[in-house]
Amino acid sequence: MRIGELAAECDCSVETIRYYEKVGLLSKPERAENGYRTYTENQLKWLQFILRCRRIGLTQDEIRQLADIETKVSAKCDEVNELLTQHLVNLHRKLDDLKQMEKSILRLKNKCEKGTLGDCLVIVELMK
Amino acid sequence: MRIGELAAECDCSVETIRYYEKVGLLSKPERAENGYRTYTENQLKWLQFILRCRRIGLTQDEIRQLADIETKVSAKCDEVNELLTQHLVNLHRKLDDLKQMEKSILRLKNKCEKGTLGDCLVIVELMK
DNA sequence: AATAAACCCTAAAGTAACTACAGGGTCAAG
DNA sequence: CTTGACCCTGTAGTTACTTTAGGGTTTATT
């Protein structure tokens, strides 16, 4: 399977695949006589794994950690859970900020609807 | 208020503040005789607003648009409301994304409660 | 008073996680 | 035999910062 097929299969760009190879997230594939990369089914699965991790917001470093954990068959799931728990904490902080932000904007919108933007302290409202 | 105090107050780095000034997100502060930046209470509030926007994932461009509302004091409320409504839509999209992420992570976490990684369901699930 | 620690300055380079581009080779189809 | 769709390497650009280099200034301590 060539890089274009792999990209189509995984719904990501060819450049992203080459990039993942460069930074060591994806193992170097075999090369055909002409120098083209040829991928195996296993590498496809691994790429899908990486993309799925990225989609739920894990960083490359975190993915690398997961990959490392995977090789330590004796390790406990606790490590994986620890990583995910930390990720959840970060996520909740973002959610809280987002909700706070929504409130601020709604408040500002209400001010504007009263038609007195000229003297309503928009900035002050925004910053509350 | 000097830059160090401001940074401490806003829980961000001194470098970030100088960076925001450089890219025009934060207005240029007065300078003391020795060249040190001196900030007002208003600038502190602005910085806090910017940081909150950033934490929820708004881009600098989006923040700049919000900030521009300040200068449009004479603008019609409709115009401003339009802008805010668009931002609300964006916020809701991001909120949904984060909630989706949270669900994925929770689902994964529950699958991996104990045992060794040999049969860690998180990995299995992610590799599907 | 001298010196060290803590603070401030600018400018430039590095980082994450890609994306886009420049300047090419390869290969099946028309 | 050339056009177009692929593939290659390598470098530069993007966003939003962070780090480093190489200095001045202020404040606390000796």
Residue A65 included in any domain: no
> Are B81 and B112 part of one and the same domain?
yes
Inside any domain, residue B23 = yes
Do A42 and A85 reside in the same domain of the chain?
Answer: no
Quick check: B4 pLDDT over 90?
Answer: yes
Q: Of A60, A86, A104, which one is at a domain's C-terminal end? A: A60
In a domain, B20, yes or no: yes
SS3 B113: coil
CA of A54 to C1' of D12 (A): 25
**Within a domain: residue A70?**
no
- pLDDT per position as a tens digit, B75-126: 556 666 777 787 788 778 777 777 877 787 787 777 665 554 445 555 555 5
Residue A68 lies in a domain: no
Whether B109 and B77 share a structural domain: yes
How many residue pairs from chains A and B have C-beta atoms closer than 8 A?
129
Q: Where are the beta strands (DSSP E) in chain B?
A: 30-31, 37-38
How many Å lie between the alpha carbon of A15 and the closest alpha carbon of chain B?
A: 22
Determine the protein residue whose CA lies at the shortest distance from the C1' of D7. Answer: A36
pLDDT at A33: 94
B78 and B54 both lie in a single domain: no
Query: Are residue B90 and residue B119 in the same domain, yes or no?
Result: yes
CA torsion B90-B96-B98-B102 (nearest 10°) is 180
**CA A126/CA A91 separation, integer angstroms:** 23
CA A89 from chain center: how many Å?
Answer: 15
Q: What is the pLDDT of residue B53?
A: 81
Does residue B109 form part of some domain? Answer: yes
Can you give the pLDDT at residue A117? 46
B127, pLDDT greater than 70: no
DSSP assignments along B23-89, one per residue: TTSSPPPEE-TTS-EE--HHHHHHHHHHHHHHHTT--HHHHHHHHHHHH-TTS-HHHHHHHHHHHHH
pTM given for the model: 0.75
pLDDT in tens, B10-69: 999 999 999 999 999 999 999 999 999 999 999 998 999 899 888 777 789 888 877 776
Residues B54 and B76 grouped into a single domain? no
Residues B109 and B83 in one domain: yes
Q: Which residues of chain A have pLDDT under 50?
A: 74, 116-124, 126
Measured between beta carbons, the chain B residues lying within 8 angstroms of A99 are 95
Minimum distance, in Å, between the CA of residue B112 and any CA atom of chain A: 6
Q: Which of A93, A94, A127 has the CB atom closest to B46's CB atom?
A: A127
Domain CATH for A22: 1.10.1660.10
The CA-based angle A100-B64-B42, given to 5 degrees, is 70
pLDDT value at position B75?
57
How far is Cα of residue B83 from the mean position of the Cα atoms in its chain? 18
The gap between B51 CA and D28 C1' (Å) is: 33
Q: Is residue B64 part of a domain?
A: no
Give the range of the structural domain holding residue A12, as residue numbers without chain letter: 1-60
* Cβ of A11 near strand C (distance < 7 A): no
> Whole-angstrom Cα distance, residue B53 to residue A127?
10
Does residue B54 fall inside a structural domain? yes
| Cβ atoms of residues A113 and B77 within 8 Å | yes
B117 and B87, same structural domain? yes
Strand partners, B30: B38
**What residues does B31 pair with on adjacent strands?**
B37
Answer whether any strand C atom is within 7 A of the Cβ of A55. Answer: no
pLDDT, one tens digit per residue, over B69-82 is 656 655 556 666 77
Based on the structure, what is the number of domains in chain A? Answer: 2
